[in-house]
Amino acid sequence: MEKFNTYFITGGAGFIGSHLTARALSEGKRVIALDNFSTGSIDNIDSFKSHPYYEFHEGSIHDLRLLKELSQSADIIFHLAAAVGVELIVNDPLNTIETNIRGTENVLHAATKNKTPVFIASTSEVYGKSEQFPFKEENDIVLGPSYLSRWSYAATKLVDEFLALAYSAQRELPVVIARFFNTIGPGQTGQYGMVVPRFIQQALAGESITVYGDGEQSRCFCHVSDVIEAVLRLINEPKAYGQVFNIGSQEEISINQLAERIISLTQQETQRQQRVKITHTPYEQAYRPGFEDTVRRVPDTSKVEQLVGWQPQYKLDRTIKDIIHSLVSAVAA
């Protein structure tokens, strides 16, 4: 089915990038990875270093010369490098803006010479404060005011989409854009505010799980393996080029319910008797005054399902158990 043999992955040492690398190498693909370790980790790529089909370069997507050089050998580019995580975005909005917009423009420019297909990772954050549920790709976008840096990530990723579609329309560059809805799985860190690994780490340590806000905000969490399957199906479908797709689960859960679920599953998987507590922290304490969050984030995935027949296979409980096992194994090692 797959027509691409050499993958160039930006953000290759990141959570999704390393899982994509593992899948690609298992299928006999060659992988060229680029990462500057700003949020990626050397631990994510340790197992690939000696693989004959793996090539890693430490560098930045701000380096256009390097991007052009590495993209020359690739059949397809997966652009996953970005400033991610709510805490990082709130605390360093300038880096978010520069990395996400300038970096994406560089990737698209580098791909233009050979018309190398590009997959662009976008985010459900672009829907902002929209209340048109579930979110559909053609929905209007509703963002908060520019003086709240929390919305800079959504705005920059939306600009990335505009850039990619402009390159598609005006320079005939094959691009596919996917809006990820809360991708989780083994190897993800809670360091930058990712809620599921943060909760699990707290539960494993016997600490109180810290919920921001009232906890009634709801999300849909999708296993990284399901996400990668959707991505690979899309990039191998010519009808997907020049389009935007939602990728996520429709198993909606409130953050309070998520915390309870993680406490229960952690107890089951570790056979601990002590039950950890849940505490609530106001957003202004967790981040800064004026922070806004979205109440619901639920995808309509009928578009990707109809085009390539994709549906998520992992239920949330199984995904949480996978993360618990990976974190317990990491501590044991």
Tokens of 203: 């539960």
Residue 166: strand, helix, or coil: helix
Any idea which residue has 């490098």 for tokens?
81
CB 130 within 8 A of CB 137: no
Which residues form the catalytic set?
Answer: 153
Rounded distance, CA 319 to CA 19, Å?
14
For residue 64, what are the CA distances in angstroms to 2, 46, 110, 111? Answer: 28, 26, 7, 11
Rounded distance, CA 235 to CA 232, Å?
5
Rounded distance, CA 208 to CA 325, Å?
20
At what angle are helices 152-171 and 103-112 packed, to 10 degrees? 10
